[in-house]
Amino acid sequence: MFLQYLTSSAVLLLLARLATPVTAAVPSGGWHFDEVYTLVTEQLDPIVNPNAQGTHMHRVIGGSNFRAAYSFDAARSGSCSTVGVQGDKSNYWMPQLYGINDGGKSFTPIGVATRFYYFIAPNNDVDPVVQFPDGLRILSGNPNSKTANPNNYAYVCQVGQTNRDQDVTRSDFNFDIACPRGIKTNLYLPNCWNGKDLWLPGGAHMAPTAAGSYRGGSCPWSHPIKLPSIMLEYAWYTHQWKDGATAPLKGKLAWANGDTTGYGIHGDFTNGWDRSLLARAMADKSCTSGSVIGAHECSIFSANMDVTKARNCKPDAGVLAERAGNGDGITIATLPGCNPLWGNTPNKPTCSSPAPQYDISRFKATDGPMVAVSSQRRDRPIPSSAGWIPLGCVKETGSFIDAKAYLWPKNLTQDGCMKRCATDGKKFAAVGNHADNCICSNGIKDSAPVMTGLCTAPCPGNSAQTCGTAYAFNVYGAGPGTTASSPAKPVNVVRSLGEDPVEVEVEKRSGWKAMLGSGQGKMIKRADRALD
């Protein structure tokens, strides 16, 4: 066929198949850990405030060696865990929730029942889930937020005694109805990892999925490694505080940092898993049946479960005691730390006097490394010399920056596309869609959805090579000095892809038709003779 080329001030022609999105179903496999107890409530935060007093109270569960700093080896050396599965000496925490008495004249720490979920499906060759690297720290949410993020968390007002359909869900705790069975907070932790860092400021080494979900879907190009998705579920006994069971809770609750909007919910995780135990559970088909089961229903976990030990587990370093006490249900004059009540205003109120400072010397510890050991790193390689290296598999054409796409239906190969892209002076080559497209670009968007094992279609020009699959592309990167001495000739130049491409519709039955958003378009006849 002749070279078919559509000229436009904005775009060139694009195949309709290139514009069709692919979505992933929300996975359902995993476990809920129900035998979980509070380890301690105190002002320590080894992630945000290492080896210093924290800024507000946290409700901590998990491994007994919780201190003012964190390292994986120290966590694993703890004597016990408040999680029934004793092989999990990770720590999980959220801020303490308080009831506001008499408009803020005093406060009451609310008691809680805790559990958490791990979602790991599908965990197959196409979309693998790997276990946490040693030393990983995860932060979710923002204590200073004044806007809702319903993808990240939910509050549930528990109304029905037996009928959960009566429960009410919203994005804050200011329910204008009574919650006779208390409220639940469900907080998701990001589960897409950059493959290298165990911690970056603000938790930037972790991200939600490419679609912005914290559970199902593909991880983004910037954070391509999928880890188990954790959801912390804290069921707060607000119904046991004053008239919390019979009167609306609106305006009566505050997080430990003084937040009265509810949007400041946040949570943390530090890895303390027995690697062998978690790996065996993730690989055992009876433990990953496709549904969410109790951890006790997984034989790998049940053999490691000791509920009595979990219930009686105490912090190895003791408790950082507050002057007014650390227990639930006690009345205190102010929220611990410098935390006056803080509504929907951008700036947090200041304190009239400094917050009490405590001796934390016995809680100090050696902070662990911030980069994963080489054997557990999974970060994407960076081309450093002339030539091309594989970088991964991405879905959808909107993934490419400063790109030109070529239709190459009969003889597409990886090396042919690479030569074409080198000739164009592009740094990335991608083969795929229906094994008939070559895309040359100068970048991959951070949000590009990654599907590790999806690109398996044989190339039409060399069946020993793979050329993506429907709406997915094998991506290759060129190192410095990469050239092409004899670039292949594709059949069609399809279009240039901008950062914000114009919507294009293509019909191929009676010729090429392009409708370019603003009405710009041309009919281009198909030609039937080969390009020389």
**Residue 103: CB partners within 8 Å, gap ≥ 6?**
none
Residue 8 neighbours by CB under 8 Å, 6+ apart: 514, 516, 520, 521
CB neighbour burial string for 67-106, b if at least 16 within 10 angstroms, e if fewer: bbbbbbebbbebebbbbbbbbbbbbbbbbbbbbbeeeeee
Same domain, 310 and 396: no
Over range 37-52, report the average pLDDT: 99
Shared domain check, 454 and 356: no
The confidence score (pLDDT) of residue 125 equals 82
- Percent of the chain residues topping a pLDDT of 90: 77
Q: Would you say 438 and 398 are in contact if contact means Cβ atoms under 8 Å apart? A: no
For tokens 């006690």, name the residue.
330
* pLDDT confidence of residue 28: 58
Query: What tokens does 371 get?
Result: 């980069």
pLDDT tens per residue, range 128-170? 999 999 999 999 999 999 999 999 999 999 998 777 889 999 9
Domain residue limits at 510: 16-23+380-524
**Rounded mean pLDDT of 109-127?**
92
What is the maximum alpha-carbon separation in the chain?
87
pLDDT level of residue 528 (50, 70, 90 thresholds): very low
pLDDT band at 287 (very low <50, low <70, confident <90, very high): very high
Mean pLDDT of the chain: 87
Residue 340 lies in a domain: yes
492 assigned to some structural domain: yes
**pLDDT score at 17:** 30
Is a pLDDT exceeding 50 seen at residue 12?
no
Q: Among 303, 331, 363, identify where a domain stops.
A: 363
Q: Are residues 310 and 449 in the same domain?
A: no
289 vs 281: which has the higher pLDDT = 281
Q: What is the mean pLDDT of residues 518-531?
A: 27
Is residue 350 located within the same domain as residue 405? Answer: no
Buried b / exposed e over 382-393, threshold 16 CB at 10 Å, is: ebeeeebeebbb
User: Are 222 and 75 in a shared domain?
Assistant: yes
When pLDDT is averaged across residues 54-65 and rounded to a whole number, the result is 99
**pLDDT above 70 coverage of the chain, percent:** 86
Entry field: residues in the chain: 532
Assigned domain for 10 exists: no
Residues 424-430: what's their mean pLDDT? 96
Domain annotation covers residue 493: yes
Could you tell me if residue 89 is inside a domain? yes
Pairing of strands 30-36, 292-294: parallel
Instruction: Identify whether 375 is part of a domain.
Output: no
Q: 294 and 218 in one domain?
A: yes
Residue 289 burial by Cβ neighbours in a 10 Å radius (0-12, 13-18, 19+): middle
Among 308, 335, 363, the domain boundary falls at 363
Cα distance between residue 50 and residue 70, in whole Å: 8
Residues 347 and 384 in one domain: no
pLDDT in tens, 183-238: 999 999 999 999 999 999 999 999 999 999 998 889 999 999 999 999 999 999 99
318 in a structural domain: yes
Residue where one domain finishes, among candidates 329, 363, 397: 363
H or E element: which one contains 251?
A: none
Same domain, 170 and 310: yes
pLDDT at 515 > cutoff 50: no
- pLDDT per residue as tens digits for the range 443-455: 999 999 998 889 9
Residue 532, in any domain of the structure:
no
Give how many domains the chain has, as a whole number. 2
Is 197:169 a contact under the CB 8 Å cutoff?
A: no
d(CA 162, CA 72): 42
Stronger pLDDT, 352 or 531, i.e. the higher one? 352
Do residues 456 and 316 share a domain? no
Please tell me what DSSP assigns to residue 203: G
Residue 29: what pLDDT?
Answer: 87
> 424 and 514 share a domain?
yes
Structure tokens at 160: 């029905």
Question: Same domain, yes or no, for 177 and 232?
Answer: yes
Name the burial class of residue 479, with classes exposed (0-12), middle (13-18) and buried (19+) by CB atoms within 10 angstroms of its CB. middle
Predicted pLDDT of residue 23: 33
Q: Outline where 342-478 has alpha helix (H).
A: 414-423
**293: pLDDT strictly greater than 70:** yes
Kindly state the average pLDDT of the residues 79-99: 99
Overall average pLDDT of the 72-79 stretch: 99
Whether 348 and 399 map to the same domain: the answer is no
Candidate from 26-30, 62-66, 427-431 with smallest mean pLDDT: 26-30
14 touches 94 (CB < 8 A): no
pTM: 0.86
